[in-house]
Amino acid sequence: MIDSSTNLTNTASNKPHNYHEQSQIDQTLRLREVLKTLPPFAKDYFRAMEPKSSARTRINYAYDIRVFFHFLMENNPVYKNYTMDRFMPRDLENLEPVDIEEYLEYLKVYKRDEDGELITNGEKGLARKMSALRSFYGYYFKHQIIQKNPTLLVDMPKLHDKAIIRLDTDEVALLLDFVESAGDHLTGQALNYYKKTRDRDIAILTLLLGTGIRVSECVGLDLKDVDFKNNGITVTRKGGNQMVVYFGDEVAGALENYITGDREASTPLSGHEQALFLSTQRKRMGVQAVENMVKKYARQVTPNKKITPHKLRSTYGTSLYKETGDIYLVADVLGHKDVNTTKKHYAAIDDNRRRKAASAVKLREL
């Protein structure tokens, strides 16, 4: 007798995975490899994290926790002869707050264990690694596996607000104009490459600037996700939930020009047939490829601003807030789970008001 449940499982396993499913699989396998380089007891913590975090977050935390144990082996006399598999939960509570403070100091500049590369951390990097360590300690303390949590006695690194880097309205126009006409200054192989990618690049830049979607959401788009009837794209947000993001006529025109032109003329490699944006190798474009493309064009237009896809997202969020004054709408469209995140970035005093302040106070009567 054939087991129908087994048959269904086999059938499901042979079904091609979409971009986001495949990314989840790849990250899960990668996490398992990283966990092999941590103390065995650490697996319990990462297993407990799974329901409330993404695989990417767990990978980043695993790397951060690994740095902590390497620090102990390199700098703490008690652990100088340890190997990773010798660490036990009791070693966590044997540390004092001063050990954690020394770790934070170490993180500012250290050599990566795998390749000896010099790593530096600013405020944000220090805060993230400290947050990972606090979470790690917190799990074992909460489950009464350890009785002390020295991380709670060490202050978190202070984060200073930084100016949000974004494109001004005229810079957005200059960027798109430059991409449309960059071929006028190219010859030979560079010109041929530009012609192959021009319409695709304009479509990507226009889409990012006109919707504020994340670069990971952009590269994950399939052809079927674009709905010209309603001018919307179905994106998969962080956490895996789907949402329709609507776009205007400029985005529609750029997308339609690319899809009915270069995209339709392309023959994707097997497994990439549904991808919206293809590389010159006829594969789905990756996050790094889009980041490199954005930087390549932006440095020609705004050399003093380091523009990335995330900065294009900030540009859109700022423009939307200025036009609508609705911070909740901005949070919803950008996919922010916490509106306070949106307020922090987009409801601050903008540059135009600051410029008015420069001439508001008169020092001498003319």
Is the domain of 195 the same as that of 337? yes
Is the domain of 173 the same as that of 84? no
* Band of pLDDT at residue 14, cut at 50, 70 and 90: low
Is the domain of 214 the same as that of 319? yes
| 275 located within any domain | yes
Q: Strand, helix or coil at 244? A: strand
Q: Strand, helix or coil at 80? A: coil
| 8 located within any domain | no
Q: Which of 165-169, 196-200, 217-221 bottoms out in mean pLDDT, i.e. has the lowest?
A: 165-169
Is the domain of 277 the same as that of 187? yes
Amino acid 24: pLDDT = 86
Domain hosting residue 87, numbered range: 19-153
Is the domain of 197 the same as that of 339? yes
Amino acid 258: pLDDT = 98
Domain count, the chain: 2
| 159 located within any domain | no
Q: Does residue 112 carry a pLDDT above 90?
A: no
How do residues 288-306 score in pLDDT, each as one tens digit? 999 999 999 999 999 999 9
Whole-Å CA distances, 335 to 245, 318, 342 = 10, 15, 10
Average pLDDT over residues 203-228: 96
Mean pLDDT of the chain: 89
Q: Does residue 263 carry a pLDDT above 50?
A: yes
Integer Cα distance of 7 and 12 in angstroms: 9
How do residues 171-202 score in pLDDT, each as one tens digit? 999 999 999 999 888 899 999 999 999 999 99
Is the domain of 69 the same as that of 212? no
More reliable by pLDDT, 4 or 138: 138
Is the domain of 177 the same as that of 70? no
Amino acid 116: pLDDT = 79
Structure tokens at 44: 């319990």
Which residues, 6+ apart, have CB-to-CB distance to 81 below 8 Å? none
Give the rounded percent of residues in the chain with a pLDDT score beyond 90.
70
| 112 located within any domain | yes
Amino acid 1: pLDDT = 40
Q: If you ran DSSP here, which 8-state letter would residue 227 be given?
A: E
